[in-house]
Amino acid sequence: MISKIDYLPPDTALISPGNALAKAFSKQCAQYFNDASSTFDVPLKPAGTAHQQKVWNATLGIEVGKVMTYGEIAKKIKSGPRAVGTACGANPYPLVTPCHRVVSAQGLGGFMKENSPGFYRQIKIWLLKHEGVL
């Protein structure tokens, strides 16, 4: 099972996947980057609190090319928008669990615990453009 997914800086040297699971995930990533509507089906190690899992499961229902606000997710799972944002920021499976599709009512919102226009925010922008949202 995959226990965590990290985004690496663009200048990181790539290495070949070392096992069957890594190869399968690498292939699925390549498919996604070629076609944003492709899906992931790699086994994930259970993680997170019950609340985090509710949030992450709710994001799985957001279609490619669509977004929901933190408030909309909060209303759906009977929570608060800030708690939803915190859960999205703690997502150990970005890309597979698409928290990048959750945005602020006033704009883009943060991504992976970052609210400033840095590395992770640029990833969120890129993913949403790739999926046809921006």
Mean pLDDT of the region 29-36: 96
User: 50-130 adopts what CATH topology?
Assistant: Arc Repressor Mutant, subunit A (1.10.10)
Confidence band for 112, pLDDT divided at 50, 70 and 90: low
Q: 62, 74, 99, 102: which is the annotated catalytic residue?
A: 99
- The values of phi and psi at residue 2, to 5°, are -85, 130
CA distances from 52 to 20, 40, 74, 84 (A): 28, 20, 11, 8
The answer to whether 100 and 88 are in contact (CB under 8 A) is no
Q: Report the percent of the chain where pLDDT is more than 70.
A: 95
Confidence band for 99, pLDDT divided at 50, 70 and 90: very high
* Domain assignments of the chain as residue spans, ordered by start: 50-130
What pLDDT does 113 receive?
65
Look at residue 24 and give its three-state secondary structure. helix
User: Quick check: is 99 catalytic?
Assistant: yes
Indicate if the pLDDT at residue 124 is higher than 60.
yes
Residue-wise pLDDT tens digits, 45-95: 989 999 999 999 999 999 999 999 999 999 999 999 999 999 999 999 999
Average pLDDT in the chain: 92
Residue 60 contacts by C-beta under 8 Å, 6 or more apart in sequence? 97, 98
Confidence band for 116, pLDDT divided at 50, 70 and 90: low
pTM attached to this predicted model = 0.91
Query: 4 vs 108, which has greater pLDDT?
Result: 4
Query: 83 vs 106, which has greater pLDDT?
Result: 83
Confidence band for 117, pLDDT divided at 50, 70 and 90: low
